Each structure stands twice: as structure tokens, then as C-alpha cells.
Amino acid sequence: MARVYVQKGKARPFWFRHPWVFSGAVERVEGHARDGDIVTVLDCAGGFIGAGLYNSRSQIRVRILSHREGEVIDAAFFRTRLERAVALREDVLRLPAAGTTGYRLVHGEGDGLSGLVVERYGDHVVIQLSAAGMKQREGVFLDFLEERLRPRSIYENASFPYREVEGFTEGSGVRRGELPEGEVTFTEHDLELGVDLRRGQKTGYYFDQRDNRMTVARHAAGARVLDAFCYCGGFALQAARAGAREVVAVDSSAAALEAGRRNAARSGLAGRITFEEADVNVFLAQTGAGGRRFDLVVLDPPKFAVARKDRDGALYRYHALNAEALRVVEPGGLIATASCSFHVSEADFDDMLNAAAKKANRFLQILHRAGQAPDHPVSSACLEGRYLKFVLARVW
């Protein structure tokens, strides 16, 4: 097995079990390692740090999977990790549940499986492999998922930008079973939802906001609700079902809105939600200027900061957007505002929100804060896995 030595002075994160050895931390590689091979990681004095997947093409040169000296990283190793991930959902989180059959089954580092995301959509499973070494071991994951879950299909979603960086050639496709054309359905807190796994955004649906949708629903009865950046209606549907007086759901994607309309029809909520195709920035400016107000505004924009260098620009955009959104909240109403950019920290988000309140000349009372749902667990050694920020505040 080839050995990767970490530069002097750069080993500290790895003693604390951070899984990513970046290229800049590598001093030298001894022996021959092909991309995807298991290598041993050592500090400059030759002390054992861990073992993981090597990739010469990736900025993350090694993804450490084990810190136990002598542990063999083979199919049995991965099956144990996968079983632990399934058991967390089944035994602790009680997923699947009677009213929730869609959820994340494996969340990368949070489940000790760097480079692997698995989601379950009722009878269908989606897998995303973002490391060459994981892609090479795809068969192990597929076999396990097929045996353990007996899904009707397993679909690999390879539609992410860094695929080429990692050195993948195979694109998205059905790997096991049969995936019907069009939408598959699953449930979330008793609502039936449909997504097209081949054409939807991300891996299909944003499960991370599942519990935050219920937070919004708790305050929705009788309210005029705006769901800005609604995708296929996750927040809007729960708000409507909870008895909102009026729900307006805005997104710039016509396909997402069509899916939202179908979802509303599935639950008998078609007449209760207006899906509107618009740029949220334009919608808010027009709504603000026109004097129209909402009692509850949900603001769940896409990731503005993809890389660290985007942080300042992203904060500026979040600030402008939140200020505009605050202007359309009826005094005494609520805003539920989120950011899924890891590179915007919780403290950054708080400062941004306060600056937006000042800009909009409003007083904000923070009532509740949350992150992603617990089927997106975070390794204490890799806080990069905690990316979602969600704040519910009263607005005066």
C-alpha cells in the first residue's frame, strides 16, 4: 500500500480526524498509488494517521475513511458503514415512517462515507458518487442497497460539475432495476410528492428542509404566505395544508413550478397555492413597491457561495435579498430565511440578517434557528457537513 506523508506542521487537523487531506498538505507519496487506491496517511515522523482513498487529480488528495491501524478497507468495511447509516435512519430517526418515505440515507462524511450520497424516494433510490475511489467501488454500494432495501430501481445521478475533476467518464443512468419515465412519488410529513429523478434539481428533492417546513407550517394557519424560491413547493404545500389563507409560490424554473402544481393537485391543494414564474428579486421589488404584504415569508435561495472566494459576494446578495423580503412582511409577521452555503457561517448569516433588518428599517426577533434535518448528520471532525442555516424571526 502506498504511503502519503503529510507536511510538517500540517498534521493537526488529521490527529483530530478531519477526513480531507488537501494536495497542499501532502509532502510526498511513497510507493505507487493509482487514483482510487487505498493509501496509508502518515505524519512527517512516520506516525500512522489513517487510511483512505487516493486521487492525484483531486484537490482532496486523500479521503481518510479509517483511523484504525490495520483496518482493511474492503467490501465488508463499506457494508458495515452502510448498515450503520441505514440503522441510524431506521432505529434512531424512524425513517422511513408512515408519512415520510423520502429521506437521505447516506450523507457523505456525516456517515463516515466521504464521496457518497444516497437518497431514498419511496421505492426508488438515488446514488451520487463524488470521489473516484467511491465510483470504482460502486458495485459494493449497489449490491448492498439492492439487498437491504429491495428498491424498484437505483439511479445514479452524476450531474455535478466536479465530475471531470475527479476523473469520471460515466454519466447519470439507471444502475439497477427499472425507473419509469416521469415522476416517482414519495411522502414527506404526510404529503405525497412527485419528482422526476432524471430531470429534477440536485438529486431530486431538498430533504434537508423537511423539519423546517413543519416549523413554517406551525405558523401558517390563517396567514398570507409567500414561498420564495419554492422549487416544487415543499414549504408552500405544508403551509397550505396547515390552513394558510393564501399561498404564493415563486420560482424562476418553469419545470419546478409544473412539478409544484402537480404536487398541489395530488394533495387536493390545487386551488390554495398560486405558483408564479418570476425572478424572486424582481417579484419582491414589484411587490414591495405595490404595497402588497405577507404575514409569513419563506426565503430559501440557491447556494450563492460555491467556493470560499464567493463568500463576500454571496453575503452581499443575501443581504440585498433579505432586506427586500423584509419589506414585504406585514409588521408583526414572520420571516423564515435560509442559506445552504457552507462558506457563509452561522455568524456571517446572523450579521447579514441584522444588516438587512437595518437596511429595511425593521426590528427582528429571532424565535427559532435550525439547520438541516438529522438524516443529514454532521461528523464532529468535519463541520463542513453542516451547511444549512435556517432562522425564523418576527418582523416589526
Give the binding site for ligand SAH (CB under 6 A): 201, 206, 209, 229-231, 234-235, 251-253, 256, 279-281, 300, 302
Nearer to ligand SAH, 86 or 126 (CB): 126
Count of CB atoms within 10 A of residue 312's CB?
13
What's the CA gap between 92 and 94, in Å, rounded?
Answer: 6
Using CA atoms, how far residue 169 sits from 142, 177, 237, in Å, is: 18, 22, 38
Nearer to ligand SAH, 144 or 318 (CB): 318
Cα angle 378-379-380, degrees, rounded to a multiple of 5: 110
Nearer to ligand SAH, 211 or 351 (CB): 211
Q: Is 208 exposed, middle or buried (0-12, 13-18, 19+ CB in 10 A)?
A: buried
Instruction: Give strand pairing partners of 118.
Output: 106, 127
Q: Is the dihedral of CA 89, 214, 337, 286 positive or negative?
A: positive
* Non-local CB neighbours of 73 within 8 Å, separated by 6+ positions: 38, 51, 52, 65, 66
Residue 295 one-letter amino acid: D
Count of CB atoms within 10 A of residue 351's CB?
14
CB of 231 to ligand SAH, least distance (A): 4
CB of 257 to ligand SAH, least distance (A): 9
CB of 225 to ligand SAH, least distance (A): 13
Which residue of the chain is nearest ligand SAH when measured via CB? 234
What's the CA gap between 135 and 137, in Å, rounded?
Answer: 5
Grid cell of 279 as nine digits = 425572478
Is 232 considered catalytic here?
no
What's the CA gap between 208 and 190, in Å, rounded?
Answer: 16
CB of 64 to ligand SAH, least distance (A): 31
Nearer to ligand SAH, 78 or 283 (CB): 283
CB of 313 to ligand SAH, least distance (A): 15
Nearer to ligand SAH, 2 or 285 (CB): 285
Phi-psi sector, 246: left (phi>0), alpha (psi -120 to 50), beta? beta
Q: At what angle do helices 210-218 and 234-241 cross, to 10 degrees?
A: 40
Question: Catalytic residue among 44, 230, 232, 340, which?
Answer: 340
The DSSP secondary-structure symbol of 73 reads -
CB of 366 to ligand SAH, least distance (A): 20
Smallest CA-to-CA distance from 61 within 75, 41, 45 is with 41
The DSSP secondary-structure symbol of 351 reads H
Which are the catalytic amino acids? 340
